[in-house]
Amino acid sequence: MNPSMAITEAPGLFTADGLTGLIFLIIMAATLIGGIIACCAERLVRAVAGLMVCFVGVAALYYFLNSPFVAMMQMLIYVGAVCITIAFAIMLAAPEESKKNGPAGPLSGPLGFITAGIITFGLIVMALRTQFPILPKVNKGTTKEIGIQLLTQYSMVFELISIVLLIAIIGALVLARAGRSK
């Protein structure tokens, strides 16, 4: 029904395909466990550690999706930069001290769980019901082809990313410096 590529019969566990499938299952479990830690952990430092595990798993998933370049970028940008930045912010803002009890808002607790469950269920049912057409590939999507496309057809995207990052750097400096002169 939905596109599954070459393999149709069940591969044995100790063939190359079977071991690949086993590694994929482990990676999938790591991603989900990391996500659960990131959204449910009591301490924010643990949540960042869970987010890191989750992002390493996502990078491995990108590798399974034939995109080693994006997997490397995921490791560099998310695991190496974003998580470290969040960890620094946690250390600078020290949010652990003022811990309050009681519900954080009307949607926290079971109602929030139901909200997230409904959204997840809707997405899964939508993926299950939809028939996605498979189109023939026009190229292989290697790193070289990404580079050529990024500097010819999608050069606007490239320039936009540069400008967005420049504005983000300047904005972060301005915002973080504002109160320091007092």
Partner 1 sequence: MSILALYNNLNTFLYLAALLFGMGVYGLVTRRTLIGMLISAELILAAASINFMAFNRFTAPDPTVGQIFTLFIMAIAAAEAAIGLSIVLAVYRNYKSIDTEDLVELQG
23-52 residues in contact with partner 1 (CB under 8 A) are 24-25, 28, 31-32, 35-36, 38-40, 44, 47-48, 51
Q: Position of tokens 């591969």?
A: 11
**16 scored as a contact of partner 1 (CB under 8 A):** no
The answer to whether residues 48 and 91 touch, using CB atoms and an 8 Å cutoff, is no
Contact positions with partner 1 (CB under 8 A) in 57-76 = 58, 61-62, 64-67, 69-70, 73-74
**132 scored as a contact of partner 1 (CB under 8 A):** yes
In angstroms, how far is CA 147 from the centroid of its own chain?
Answer: 22
**With CB under 8 A, what is the number of residues at the site for partner 1?**
102
Interaction mask 88-127, partner 1, x per CB under 8 A: xxx-xx-x--x-x---xx-xxx--xx-xxx-xx--xx--x
Distances (CA, A) of 10 to 16, 30, 55, 65: 12, 24, 29, 20
Q: Whole-number minimum distance, CB 127 to partner 1, in Å?
A: 4
CA-CA-CA-CA dihedral for 122, 127, 133, 134, to nearest 10 = 150
Contact positions with partner 1 (CB under 8 A) in 137-176 = 137-141, 145-146, 149-150, 154, 157, 160-161, 164-165, 167-169, 171-173, 175-176
Q: Whole-number minimum distance, CB 67 to partner 1, in Å?
A: 5
Q: Whole-number minimum distance, CB 106 to partner 1, in Å?
A: 9
Q: Whole-number minimum distance, CB 174 to partner 1, in Å?
A: 8
Instruction: Give the tokens for residue 166.
Output: 């420049």
Structure letter (DSSP) for residue 96: T
Question: Would you mind telling me the total number of residues written for the chain in this entry?
Answer: 182
What is the rounded CA–CA span in Å between residue 126 and residue 137? 25
